[in-house]
Every structure is written in structure tokens, then in C-alpha cells.
Structure 1
Amino acid sequence: MTKPVVDLTIVGSIGIDTIETPTEKQEEILGGSVSYACAAASFFSHTGMVGVVGTDFPQEFRDTWSNMSIDLEGLQTVEGKTFRWGGAYHENMDNRDTLFTDLGVFESFSPELPEDYKEAPYLFLGNIHPALQLHVLEQTRDPKFVLIDTMDLWINIAKDDLAKVISRCNMLTLNESEAQLYTGEHSLTQAAKLLLELGPEYVLIKKGGNGSMLFTKQDIFLLHAYPLDTFKDPTGAGDTFAGGLMGALAASGKTDKKAIREAMVYGSIVASFGVEEFSLERLKQLDRDEIEIRVAEFKEMCRI
């Protein structure tokens, strides 16, 4: 049987998390940017995972990915301990405190792409050091569309490397505080203008429960968040959104503005399911029909 072609490569962190919310605590659960992003993308495209775990990594977590038909050829297993992170959310569930960070094998991670992944037309550079993102980009063979994510840490300590890799990507995504930090502008429209000058065609600013904003040099697209009855754990919501977006975009085979806006809707809806449970628990039970039903509901809510 011929192995399916990987049409989307996703690179990022893999972690074992301990999460505390105002009402619940979950220990030793599957986390990391690439876990959430690949899970979300898997509903739409054949996705290749690039990350690293230690020899302590549970088989049940690998099985979770395999059951989602995520390609694991790019997953490295290294002697040592898997990256671990702990976080506690405030009452509003928007802000959180980091309780501990144990980098483990992630500290020396050097992403290497299998041959199949180098040919993938779509690439999502998840939140890792910009020098590593650039290392990945240099292994690819002319991808059609590249999305890069980042965080405040890299803006503070590796801004030159970050600017270099952003200039070679089609879209930059970051949250509103990161956009303000990078540019020194409080206004998101002004921040987006400065970020677009770095070279990407699109800047996507995530606003958590308030949706997202897509900027080009010509226009702005605003997307609401889907209103939820159940909201348990916001961890990984941004990665789920970006992964769903890139999966849907890869499935479309397109890169135009209309296709990106449509893909944003799918990313937002998959993320809305993800936060209903901890870790990937809700995404493990999700199917494409449920996604399509909620997408239709959402579009009706937004219709004028």
C-alpha cells in the first residue's frame, strides 16, 4: 500500500503538561504546539509532525496521533525526558502563570525533515526558536504557503533571527500583546502595518475569545469567536486554530485571500471544540460532520 503524500508539515514543541484552572487540575497530559496543531489539521489534510520526545514518552500519546492518521516519520525520540510544562489559569481564563518548565530533550532539538516532508506544499512553523524555524525553512523545496508563529520570548531575545525568518514566510501569526511588543504600537492596525513591512503578505493577530484579525496591505478581515457553553481549558487554542487553518488551506489547494478567510473559519471552529476539554480529549472524539455543522451555524450567526 502506497504511503499517503504529506501535504502539510508542522514543526513545534511536544510536551507533557500539568494544567490548573479555577475549577480543575489535570496532570501529565499531552500538550505542545505541534500536538494541537497536527490534531486540528488532521481533519482536513495528511499532516506530517516534526518534533522531539524523550524515552519516557507514553505509548498512549503516540496512539492518539496515529489514530488521527498523523504522519510520525518526522518525530524524533531521544534518550532523556520529554519537555514538561505546568500552568495555572486565573479566574478569567485569559491570563495564566507558568508553574514550571523542564525543557528535557527539547533543549537540544534540531528539527530534521524526512524527504517526503521537504516536498510538502504547505508548512506551519510552530512556536520554536527562530533560528530553528529558519533551519526548517532551508530544508524545504519551494513550499506554496508558509505560516510562522512566535511568542514574546523570541521577540525579546532573538528579534533579528525572527525578522529574518518572517521575511521568508507568507503569513505571520501572533497574539495582540506580541504584536504590540514587537512594534511598540498599541494600535493593532498600526502594529500590523509595521509587521507587514517585514515581508509577509498576511499578518494574523489572534485575540483569544475575541476572535482574530487578518491584515494585508489592502484590507482587514475580522473573525468572531464561536460562542461556547462549555469552556474547560484554553491551552493550545491558538495552535489548534492555526493548525486547523493550515489543514483547511492545504485541503483547498489554494492560497488566495478568499481561501485563507474560509480556512480561518475552520480553524476557529476546530479550536472552539478543542477548549471544551483538556488536552486533545475533545478533538479525539470529534469528526468532520460535527465540524461542518458548527461551521454552518457560525456562518449563519455572522450573516447580515
Structure 2
Amino acid sequence: MSVVVVGSVAYDGVETPHGRVERMLGGACTYIALASSYFARTKIVAVVGDDFAAEDEQLLSNHGIDLEGLERVPGKTFFWAGVYSDDMNDRTTLRTDLNVFAGFDPKLPASYRESPYLVLGNIQPSLQRSVRAQMNGLRLAGGDTMNYWIKDHRQELLETIREWDFLLINDAEARMLSDAYNLKRAAAKILEMGPHTLVIKRGEYGAILFHRDWHFIVPGYLLEEVFDPTGAGDCFAGGFIGYLAEKGFDLKQGHIDAKELSRAVIYGSVMGSFCCEKFGVERFRTLTRAEIDARFQEFRAFTEF
């Protein structure tokens, strides 16, 4: 089973209490795809400039990621820079240069259009809808959004997520989208907007999965040191969809396997935790599936009673 991931491939400049990196591979599409690649064949749709390094392309290739949908155009690759607070719960954006990403108009190669799983990174809702319309026979489609789209493009966003099977957002975004502070009430209102499944990401406090009349809560994985939380939420998405693709999960069949959805949330949390162990994508240069499965079992042991 294959997964198509659409979003940004970028360069990031990040400063945390553990240090500073001036330029490193990043972007939502990058993180989602790397995490997903441990579970399923993954294909990306993104745009980069002529400054995109061969070694970064090689990292993606080394993970078996299909790069047919990675478009190279003249100009510079999307660049973002930010600094994190001492507790790393807040960050301040210092610079956002969209560069070639400003003209991103995703077009799927023919070889991508029959893929059964789709993850839409944080891009304009109209582009998300356009991508979904290019695909056939989807088993599971959904993605991410952010406060900007919720606040300034609300109607466009609502029309988009109405067609989704799942939505992955953080607690602040859930409250803004639903206009409800209590997360259980917020989830109920969001599920009425169209998605069958909602995952509310809560950073170091874990995540909550909501599906119709039940929910599942998973804690955050306790790390001895968090070097860089950039991309952790996207890695969560990659682990979540990657695991479901590996298992051939099909929401359209009507029968919902609650255990598989719950395991997908745990694998999402596992992938997010590994992301935080080093700056940027560095941990994925050495990470193995055996390590991932071992941490999944740790989650199971820590939360079973």
C-alpha cells in the first residue's frame, strides 16, 4: 500500500536551548514522508529550488521515497527560521521566505493517482481540495491545517475538510475551529464538520483520538532530552497514516477497527518522539524499524494496567 504526501520541502534555521542550526532540511512534507516511509511506500509532491542539495535528496531516496512528484524550479527553496523558549513549548518565528513555494500548484504524476492513502500537509485549503480531486479510489484521506487558515479562510477550509476522513490538529487549533474550549465538546463539533476521525495533538502531553462516539488518549513519550521539537507533529502524522497503510486500513468498508486506529496514534507518538531526539531530520539517518517497534512496546508497557 502506498501513501502520497503533499506539502512543503524546506530549509529551516532553528535555535533551541540545546544549540543552533543555521540551515537544515525540513518542511511538513519531508517529516511526514520520512516517518511514513518506515511503514509503507511513500510518494511526495512538493517544490524545491535549484539550491536544493543533492545530499538532502539522497536522504529521501535512501528511505525509498518516490520523488517523481518533487518539482525543481529556478529560485530558492522555502526557508523558515525560528527560536524556541527555554521549555520549548513556545516558539517565535524570525523569518519566513516562501521563495518557490509561493507558486506551488501541486500536480500529481499519473503513477500517484491510484494510491489509496493521502496526507495533505499544511497548505492552502483550495490546493488541498485540488490534490484530493486528482486521486482515484482513496481509502483514507486527510491532513493538517493551521490557525491562519482557520481564521482567515474558514469557509474554504470547511469545504475542504468536509471531504476528509481524518483531521490532525493541535489543541489550540481545535478550540479555534470549533469555538469551544472543552476538547470533548470541540471534537464533537469538528466531527460534525465532516471528518470521521479527529486527532488532537497536545505536544509533550500526548494526543487524543476521537472517532464518532469513542475516544482514545495516549500520553507523550518521556524523553531524557528534547533537542528540537520542529517537525514532531508532522512525524506524528507520518507514523499515523503509515501504520494504517501498512495494515491496509479502509474506512470506506464501514467496519472500524478501533484497535488499529489506537495503535496508529501510538505509532504517531513514537515517530514524533524520535524526531525530537536530534535537530531536524538527523535522527532519521540512523533510525531503524526495530527501534520504532521497541518503543511501541514501551508505550504498551507504560500505559497498560
Asked if these proteins are the same fold (TM beyond 0.5), I'd say yes
Matched, 1:41 2:41: no
Q: 1:143 aligns with which of 119, 138, 146?
A: 138
Distance 2:58 2:212 in 1: 43
* Aligned amino acid, residue 125 of structure 1: L
Q: 2:62 aligns with which of 52, 64, 67?
A: 67
Tell me the CA shift for residue 271 of structure 1.
Answer: 1.3
1:13, 1:106 within 8 Å by CA — same for their partners in 2? Answer: yes
2:209, 2:265 within 8 Å by CA — same for their partners in 1? Answer: no
Tell me the CA shift for residue 26 of structure 1.
Answer: 0.4
* Aligned amino acid, residue 221 of structure 1: F
**Offset from partner CA, 1:200-220 (integer Å, 9 cap, x none):** 111110000000011122111
Distance 2:183 2:237 in 1: 19
**Who is 2:279 aligned against?**
278
1:209, 1:225 within 8 Å by CA — same for their partners in 2? Answer: yes
Tell me the CA shift for residue 230 of structure 1.
Answer: 2.3
Tell me the CA shift for residue 44 of structure 1.
Answer: 0.6
Tell me the CA shift for residue 195 of structure 1.
Answer: 0.5
* Aligned amino acid, residue 273 of structure 1: F
2:79, 2:98 within 8 Å by CA — same for their partners in 1? Answer: yes
Distance 1:261 1:73 in 2: 32
- When the two structures are aligned, how many residues end up with a matched partner? 299
Q: Map 1:7-22 to 2 at 5 A.
A: 7-22=2-17
SS in structure 2 opposite 1:213?
strand
**Who is 1:294 aligned against?**
295
Distance 2:249 2:177 in 1: 30
What CA RMSD, in Å, does the superposition of the two structures yield over aligned residues? 0.9
SS in structure 2 opposite 1:73?
strand
Distance 2:78 2:271 in 1: 25
Distance 2:266 2:212 in 1: 21
1:21, 1:88 within 8 Å by CA — same for their partners in 2? Answer: yes
Note the residue ranges of structure 1 that are not aligned, 5 or more in a row.
1-5
Distance 2:168 2:41 in 1: 22
Matched, 1:124 2:133: no
**Offset from partner CA, 1:190-245 (integer Å, 9 cap, x none):** 11111011111111100000000111221111011111112100000000000111
1:196, 1:202 within 8 Å by CA — same for their partners in 2? Answer: yes
**Who is 1:201 aligned against?**
196
Distance 1:163 1:81 in 2: 32
1:68, 1:284 within 8 Å by CA — same for their partners in 2? Answer: no
Distance 1:63 1:265 in 2: 29
* Aligned amino acid, residue 109 of structure 1: F
Distance 1:123 1:72 in 2: 15
| TM-score (normalizing by structure 2) | 0.96
Tell me the CA shift for residue 48 of structure 1.
Answer: 0.2
* Aligned amino acid, residue 285 of structure 1: T
1:204, 1:212 within 8 Å by CA — same for their partners in 2? Answer: yes
